[in-house]
Each structure stands twice: as structure tokens, then as C-alpha cells.
Amino acid sequence: MAIAMKVTVSPERISLGPGETADVELTVQNASQVVEHFAAHVVGLPSNDLFRCEPDVVKLRPKEVGTLRMQISVPERGGMIAGPYILGLVVKSPYSQEVSRCEELPLDVRPAPALTMNVQPEVANGGKIGNYVINLANEGNMPMAVTLSGTDPENRVGFKFAPRELRLEPGMVAGSQVTVNSDQPLTGSEKHRSATLRAHAGETVVEKPVSFVQRPKIRGGWMKFGALAAGLAVLGGATVGGALLLRDIKADNAAATAAQVQPQAQQQVPQPPQQQNPPAQTQPPAPPNASSAAPQPPPSQPATAPPAQSGAPQAVPVTDNIDFEQDLSGQAVTRDGPIAANHYADKGLNLVALPDRGPIQCKNATQVALRVNRANPNSTNPVAGAGVYVTSGIPTEIRECNIVPIRMQFDRALTAVNVYFTGLPGTRYTATMNFLDGTSQAVQGTATKIGERVAIPFQVPQGKQPIKDVIFSLSPDVQPDIGGRTNILLKGVGFTRVP
């Protein structure tokens, strides 16, 4: 079939940043022998709202040339990551499907980094140390490798970040725990220290000023300190004086006793022994039994070993708990198997795998499953001994891609939550709390030993928005391991709903 039209595009290439618009002109010639109508649209944009065409339709007689003017836009946020794209400009007849032509238009989306940082609290109170939480959001159109740092004008404050480095994909939110430390004042008034927390991502730098208020070791100032020192001096003098007086009394008593004993010894004259019948021979008394004569020490109390401490944070009080190691009837789970997203719906929980947040090779890992890995000294499985847990996987093979994040959706908003997990020692996981107002906060937890439950607790501060859902994933600085060393191993969840 002969081509029914000729189309030229001007310009031949466009370059746009987020929120920008370009004008593109399509020149169309009717190459057929009949009157035709032509309309145009764009293929390759995330939404049809991002282009307009005027007029909607152009009517052309044979050999006649007409023009379609288009405006093509790039969304201000989300949808298009910085880089090259190929758009398709489709010109076709709305009345005849056979009359159609597509011209390519290269589009370069320019990088537009945008990083936001929120710090809570703005003022930390403490003694030697203070604590903050940093929440970072990548609102730009390119991945960002973020490094955190801190400074203070007096150079008297130390900073510790957990983690210090994060990688944020466009639209991603993550958090870091910050601990500051400085020499605590001995006495006097509170010490107010100023500091600045910074997030560096290439040429993008975001900073927030914070304050650290340190209470003195001894409250009340130098007067109380002087009074305490004077009191200690008086107490020490009284103790020393009493000891010296007691020593003198003891010496006087000893001298008097010696003077009385000496005359009595001089008056005693030895008398010659009188002749008497010898007394009946008696057996000398038996030497005392050492075991009975010696004083018996009191029986020692058995030493009580302190409870083992894993270093994991304590769970917050909650009203409802779901133990993934038990089935819905309360019996122990004994074998692997896929479960539906609404498997725990009667208990107020839905579970959804998020393959778009996992490695590209796990893009098909849409299944949520219960898995069982018992301890086996002969096993080469790195998670042997993990017990029963919920994880993600590929529908046709749930043992594959157990590293995709899982979203926990609740039937009502929450005021508190405990996410229980296990993992290989030192592996870091993150529970991202998504609130009703659209904000998020990431809370990290570190596995202690395989099979041991570790809690990531979170209590919504008073006056803050409740939790809508929770995403459990590897921490951003942990490289996913297909071999199983970084699997998602959820043991359960506890929560308190909004009244």
C-alpha cells in the first residue's frame, strides 16, 4: 500500500528539565488521491496530560500540506528519570486505521537533583550525648549517593551517623540516626551548643541547624557545689577526729589494765605440792574435730548470670500481635507455601511484595510466602536455623528472590508498631513508616543471630500523624545477595490501632 502522507518534524530533537515544555511542529502532506483527516498524539510519555496538539484534526485535500502544533512537557516530579528517551509522534486518520505514520523524536531529560532534609528534634536535651533523627527525601529525577556530616563552631561536638552514607533513588525516603557527644559541664547552668547537620550528594548540599542543650553534672551552681564540698570536709574531719579519740581511749584503758595485772602477779607465791592420793587416771580429752570446731562459713548464694543481651531495642507496648510462626488456627507452621496478600486480613493485615523496589533480576518476585528453615549443622544454606518466617519470592519458585521488600498494610491507622525479623549477624534492615499525611520515616534494625527475633519498634509521637503502612526492606547501604545472605525474614508484627 502506498504511503498516504508525508511527515516532517521540527525540531528534530528536544531537551527538557522537570516542569519544562517544548513546542514541536509537524508538517503533514496528504499523499493520497482523496481528502483525508489527520490527528496526532505522543507515545512514550508517562501521561497523556503531558502533550497538547492544535488543531485536534487537520483536513487536507490531495497534495495539500498542513501543520499540527504540539506542546510536549516533562512532569515536574516523578515519572521520568534523567536520561535519553525516544518519543513516538503518531499521525493518523481518525477514520481510517490504515492511514498512519510514526516519527521518532529524541528527548533528553536533564538532571535536576533535589534533596530535602528534616531533622527531629531541632533541640536535643541530654548530658554527655544527644540524639536526632534525619529524614531524607530524593525529590529530584536522578539517583543520589548521600553522605552525612556535622560541624559545630567551637569544634567541641562529635557526630556519629547510622548509617552515614545512603543511596536514594528518585522518590525514595530514608532516615539516619544521629548521636552527638560533648564534654558535659561539671556545674553551673545548662550549656547550649549549636551545630549544623549536612547532607552532601555531589554538588547538592542541604543543611539544618540544630541545638544541643547539656545539663550540668551537679545542678544548682557553685554555691551548692561549695556547700557539698564543705559538708564532705566536715564529715571527713569528724571521722578522722573520732578515730583519733577512740585510739587514745583504747591506749589509756590498756595502760590501766597492765598496772592492775602486775601487782597481782607479784603477790602470787608458788606453793609446794601436797602429797595426796593420785587422782584416777583419765583419758585425755579427745582433740576437737576440726570440722565441727572450726566455724562454718555461711552457705554461698548461687551466682545469677545476667540475662543475655543481644543489643536489640526493646519492643513498645501494643494491643495486637501476629506471629508468622503460627498458622491461623494457632498451630506451628511446618512447611513452605505461598500465601495470599489477604492471608491475615481477619487480623487486620495485608502483605504485598514490592518487586519494583528490588533488584532487576527479581522483577517477577510478586509472591508472598511462608518458609521454614530449621537448624542443620550440615546445611550450606546461609539462613538455616531461621525457623519460620514470611518472605517474598517468585510465584513459580518461592525459594528464589527472597530479597524483595514487603509492604504491610493495616485495616486502620496505627499509633505504635513492632516489626519482628531475624537475619545473619550484622545485616541491617529498615522499616519505613508511611504516615497518613504522606510523610515517611525510616527506622533501622540490625540482626543479631540467625533465628533470634529482633524488634524494630516505633511509637508515634503525640500530636503526629498515625502510621498508614510499613515497608520492610534491606537498609539502603546493604547490597542484596541473591545467594540468601540478605533475605527478607519477617517473624511477626505487633501494632496498636488508632482508637
In this structure, what are the phi and psi dihedrals at residue 380, rounded to the nearest 5 degrees? -95, 0
pLDDT of residue 273: 43
The whole-model pTM stands at 0.44
- CA–CA separation, 444 vs 442, rounded Å? 7
- pLDDT at residue number 250: 55
DSSP string, 270-300: PPPPP--PPPPP-PPPPPPPHHHHSPPPPPP
Give the pLDDT of residue 69: 95
Domain boundaries, the chain: 5-109, 115-214, 320-497
Domain 115-214, CATH: 2.60.40.2310
Query: What CA–CA distance (Å, rounded) separates 374 from 389?
Result: 11
| pLDDT band per the 50, 70, 90 thresholds, residue 275 | very low
Query: The domain 5-109 is classified under which CATH number: 3.40.50.300, 2.40.30.30, 3.30.1490.20, 2.60.40.10?
Result: 2.60.40.10
Of 16-20, 185-189, 220-224, 313-317, the one with minimum mean pLDDT is: 220-224
Helix (H, G, I), strand (E, B) or coil at 163: coil
Class in CATH terms, 320-497: mainly beta
pLDDT of residue 26: 94
Q: Cα(154)–Cα(10) distance, rounded to whole angstroms?
A: 60
Least confident of 43-57, 236-250, 454-468: 236-250
User: What value does the mean pLDDT take over residues 91-117?
Assistant: 91
**pLDDT at residue 287, rounded to an integer:** 43
pLDDT, the chain, mean = 83
- What pLDDT sits at residue 284? 43
Percent of the chain with pLDDT over 70: 80
- Mean predicted confidence (pLDDT) in 465-480: 92
pLDDT band with cut points at 50, 70 and 90 for residue 274 = very low
pLDDT at 76: 83
278-292, 366-380, 431-445: which has the minimum mean pLDDT?
A: 278-292
Q: Write b or e for each residue in 240-270: b if 16 or more Cβ atoms lie within 10 A of its Cβ, otherwise e.
A: eeeeeeeeeeeeeeeeeeeeeeeeeeeeeee
**Looking at residues 14-28, what average pLDDT do you find?**
94
- What is the predicted pLDDT for the residue at 139? 87
The predicted pLDDT at position 235 comes to: 64
| Mean pLDDT across 263-273 | 43
Residue type at 210 in one-letter notation:
V
Q: If pLDDT is split at 50, 70 and 90, which confidence band does 291 have?
A: very low
Lowest mean pLDDT among 255-264, 415-424, 486-495: 255-264
151-155, 342-346, 375-379, 384-388: least confidently modelled range: 375-379
pLDDT tens-digit series, residues 151-166: 999 999 999 999 999 9
Position 277 scores a pLDDT of: 44
Q: In what order do the strands lie in the sheet with 5-10?
A: 5-10, 21-30, 65-73, 51-54
Q: For 241-259, what is each residue's pLDDT tens digit? A: 555 555 655 555 555 544 4
Task: Report the greatest alpha carbon distance in the chain.
Answer: 170
**Of all helices (H) and strands (E), which one includes residue 181?**
strand 173-181
Q: What is the pLDDT of residue 229?
A: 59
Mean pLDDT of 190-218: 92
pLDDT band at residue 262 using 50, 70 and 90 as cut-offs: very low
- The reported pLDDT for the residue numbered 255 is 52
Q: What is the mean pLDDT of residues 55-82?
A: 90
Span 460-484, average pLDDT: 90
Percent of the chain with pLDDT over 90: 55
What does the pLDDT look like over 318-370, one tens digit per residue? 999 999 999 999 999 999 999 998 999 999 999 999 988 888 788 889 999 99
Band (407; pLDDT cuts 50, 70, 90): very high
Per-residue burial over 320-334, b if 16 or more Cβ lie within 10 Å, else e, is eebbbbeeeeeeebe
What was the pLDDT predicted at 307? 36
The secondary structure of residue 384, as a DSSP letter, is: T
Q: In what order do the strands lie in the sheet with 173-181?
A: 115-120, 129-138, 173-181, 158-162
Whether the domain at 5-109 and the domain at 115-214 fall into the same CATH topology: yes
pLDDT value for 434 = 94
